[in-house]
Chains A and B, each alone.
Chain A
Amino acid sequence: MMFAVHFPYWAQSLLRVLGGLVAVLLPAGTIVYLFLFKMMSFMQSRLGPMEAGPYGSMQLFAEVGKWLQKEDIMPEKADHSIFKIAPLIVLASTFLLVAVVPFGPDAFFTNFETGVFYALAVSSVSVLGILIAGWSSANKYSLLGGLRAAGQLIAYELPMVLAVVGVVIQAGTMNMQQIVVAQNAGEIFGWSGLGNPYILTQFIGFAVFMIAVQAELTQAPFDMPVAESELVSGYMTEYSGFRFLIFFIAEFATAGVFALIASVLFLGGWGIPFSWFGWNNIDQIDNWMNIVGPLIMFTKMMGLVFLIMWIRFSYPRFREDQLQRFAWKVLIPVSLGNIMLTAVLKVVF
């Protein structure tokens, strides 16, 4: 089923750009306010921002205003052009990532066969931005932070990919939209009341994926590259004002987008179990799912980001070598085992 109104190409493109901005910035803002400002404060027996707006809800605008007003400081010895590009590369990777996330039966930016593959590929573009941010700052702490980030992000890319392979095997497709459909149209031992969200069958994959996401986002306990208390925020040390704001948005927007991808892969994405309304495939889905779907996605995303932030505010950080050991000696063997198991079960059933 398609929208009743057909837009010309330019209008579609404009809508997609605006939709992309909303899909990136709205979750980022919500995450920062709800989790970074409020949840963290409540966990730490304080109130958080209370002055700007009711319960400090306008605090984010105040912060953004502050950052935009700040002087654009750049170290004298920094590689100026590269220094300027770096935060944009990191943010660009977030926008590229959100392009393949489906929000409803027709509410998506693009829908192509190798969506999962594409998502995993563009998610590693941010490594490039972080590495050159660290290198071009002409600061030893930034350099150490950048190198750590590169090592860590590449190490945790692998378990992430391997965790997704299990889902791909089970769904039999790399198309994100079809993965959603496969989960909601699926059944568990003949019972289709819940669909078949892959978190049940792929729980190991889900756990590995979320741990890898935690590391990809450089959130504690894997925040070695930014480590405020030792590297003084690592690759972001020399950034201030507007450029820091871009890094900041990218950090939380990427958290949101990774949570969206995780909810697509493991929690059934935008869908509700098809058996509830007697649908059998994607063509029978009613149009109202294009409105409800994004809301369902948003709810699932918030749940997953809550998990990420909860861990972030609770744990101390790993050391660099412990971090690498955990990736190579625990996560990768576990996810490989998960692939084996999935493949065997796929053949059996």
Chain B
Amino acid sequence: MTMLGDRQRLAYIASQAADARLNVELETEGMTLNIGPQHPATHGTLRIICRLDGEQVVWAEPSAGYMHRGYEKLTEVRTFPQVTSLVNRIDWLGSFANEVPFILAAEKLMDIEAPPRAQHIRTILFELSRIANVSLFLGDLGVQLGAITPVFMAFRDREYVLNLIESATGGRFHPNFDRIGGLKDDLPKGWIEETRSVMRKLRTFCDEIDDLLFGNEIFQSRTRGIGVIPKDVALQYGLSGPNLRASGVDYDLRRDQKIAMAWDKVDFKVWTHPDGDSFARCWVRLQETREATLIVEKLLDTLPAGPVMAKVPRIIKVPEGEAWVSTENPLGEMGYYVVSKGDLGPFRVKIRSASFNNISIVPWLLRGVYVPDVITILASLYFILGDIDR
């Protein structure tokens, strides 16, 4: 934390010096530009305070908390099964993925494990919510950069995934499907065949985006070399997920940790990019979406038979203890530190959400860039407001 403080102090000194220099040399004064809280580029109510010299950002700081909903505190007055309906509102585009680490933490405390079929279906739904999340990012990316057409294609094809999630769980946005010890229900009839065809559609969508957006010269000139995060800086700021992998760090919790999920049953490639710029971050996400469709298909091939619910008591009391479980969510590493005192509900829950850490690099990253690049960088960092403010 001291490092962050030092950086901010240095950045502030630099901005003061820049102001002094400007006032002496050109007799101009810097302008403070509030990007947000209401601004189309912030996906919600993030506020970024920028001090500008012309169109160049001298100093920038994100100001979060405009949509703080107090989830960590709210979990303390809920029972364990009730918490899932809260936490799937954190990253609202990939809701199911938010439920999983919490349920896994509770299962870890209770020392039970979901049956293999439940683990498989959990992983499939997890990857589907990743696709739903990142495909919207791929469309939204175009809008941020001024291309208005891709977002409609993204919404069109994301609809298929949401339909799948709805038909399996009953909820399009907030499934609330995960239970301690397994899942609420088994998959509906015909779901597997439908999923296969949707995965093919999604791969076509990825190809389209690859051609239309990533192959575009203007897109490349807007994103290549913009907002470069070196490996060590990415690690220092605790970035995770595609933002970290785009800086060349080969780290993916799906592969690198032993967890009661089905990712170890399939082979998949963890995509990394050496550049660390905006283009790399977008590219890694695109490849991950494509990889996720392949993971889903492979998991469907190896779906085991059996029950989807383990034996759990009717009234769930979690024994005393502490557990930390994190998973590789669409936005990055998301984890829950659950403290239980043996009651019906958790005593304390600390939520580690990916966007909050990813956005912490913004003051470091935005210094010296132009206003249009601020939008590019924010779009490529890809945060969800609910994931920052919780």
Contacts and interface: CB of A to CB of B under 8 A. Distances in A.
A346 interface: no
Interface in A220-257: 220-221, 223-224, 227-232
Interface in B134-164: 142-149, 152-153, 156
Contact of A232 (B31, B39, B156, B219): B39
Interface in A300-321: 313-321
Contacts of B31: 140
Contacts of B166: none
B40 interface: yes
Contact of A319 (B144, B149, B373): B373
A69 interface: no
Given A44-B153, A229-B375, A232-B40, 17 more contacts: A40-B148, A141-B33, A221-B146, A221-B218, A227-B372, A229-B41, A229-B145, A230-B41, A230-B374, A231-B371, A315-B216, A316-B145, A316-B219, A317-B145, A317-B218, A319-B373, A320-B370
Contacts of B142: 316
Interface of A: 40, 43-46, 140-141, 144, 220-221, 223-224, 227-232, 313-322
Contacts of B156: 45
A325 to B, nearest CB: 10
A144 B146 contact: no
Nearest to B212: A314
A42 B115 CA distance: 47
Nearest to B145: A316
B152 A315 contact: no
Given A45-B152, A229-B375, A316 B147 contact: yes
Given A220-B147, A227-B146, A230-B372, A316 B216 contact: yes
B376 to A, nearest CB: 8
Interface string B277-319: 0000000000000000000000000000000000000000000
A28 to B, nearest CB: 20
Given A44-B153, A140-B33, A321 B148 contact: no
B33 A314 contact: no
Contacts of B144: 229-230
Interface of B: 31, 33, 39-41, 55, 142-149, 152-153, 156, 213, 216, 218-219, 221-222, 370-375
Contacts of A232: 39-40
A221 B213 CA distance: 13
B145 A320 contact: no
A141 B40 CA distance: 13
Contacts of A322: 221-222
Contacts of B33: 140-141, 144
A220 B150 CA distance: 14
A40 B373 CA distance: 27
A320 B373 CA distance: 10
Nearest to B144: A229
Q: Which of A43, A221, A322 has the most CB of B within 10 A?
A: A221
Contacts of B148: 40, 44, 220, 313
6 contacts: A45-B156, A140-B33, A229-B146, A230-B371, A231-B371, A320-B370
Contact of B55 (A144, A221, A228): A144
A314 B370 contact: no
A230 B374 CA distance: 9
A40 B142 CA distance: 15
Contact of A314 (B145, B149, B222, B371): B149
Nearest to B223: A316
Given A229-B40, A230-B372, A316-B213, A220 B146 contact: yes
A229 to B, nearest CB: 5
A224 B148 CA distance: 14
A313 B147 CA distance: 7
Contacts of B373: 319
A93 to B, nearest CB: 25
Contacts of A317: 145-147, 218, 222
Contacts of B221: 318-319, 322
A315 B371 contact: no
A317 B372 CA distance: 10
B152 A46 contact: yes
A44 B372 contact: no
B218 A316 contact: yes
Q: Which of A44, A223, A224, A321 has the most CB of B within 10 A?
A: A44
B41 A44 contact: no
Nearest to A224: B372
Contacts of A315: 146-147, 216, 218
A203 to B, nearest CB: 21
A61 B55 CA distance: 39
Q: Which of B39, B146, B216, B371 has the most CB of A within 10 A?
A: B146
A231 B371 CA distance: 9
A321 B371 CA distance: 11
Closest 4 pairs (CB-CB, A-B): A317-B146, A44-B152, A316-B147, A316-B145
Contacts of A44: 148-149, 152-153
A46 B143 CA distance: 17
Contact of B375 (A46, A141, A230): A230
A232 B374 CA distance: 14
A305 B285 CA distance: 36
Contact of B222 (A46, A140, A316): A316
Given A229-B40, A230-B41, A230-B371, A313 B146 contact: no
A141 B41 CA distance: 13
Contacts of A313: 148-149
Contacts of A141: 33
A321 B370 contact: yes
B41 A319 contact: no
Contacts of B146: 220-221, 223, 227, 229, 315-317
A322 B144 CA distance: 17
Given A230-B41, A230-B375, A319 B147 contact: no
B222 A228 contact: no
A217 to B, nearest CB: 14
B218 A228 contact: no
Contacts of A46: 152
Contacts of A227: 146, 372
Contacts of B375: 229-230
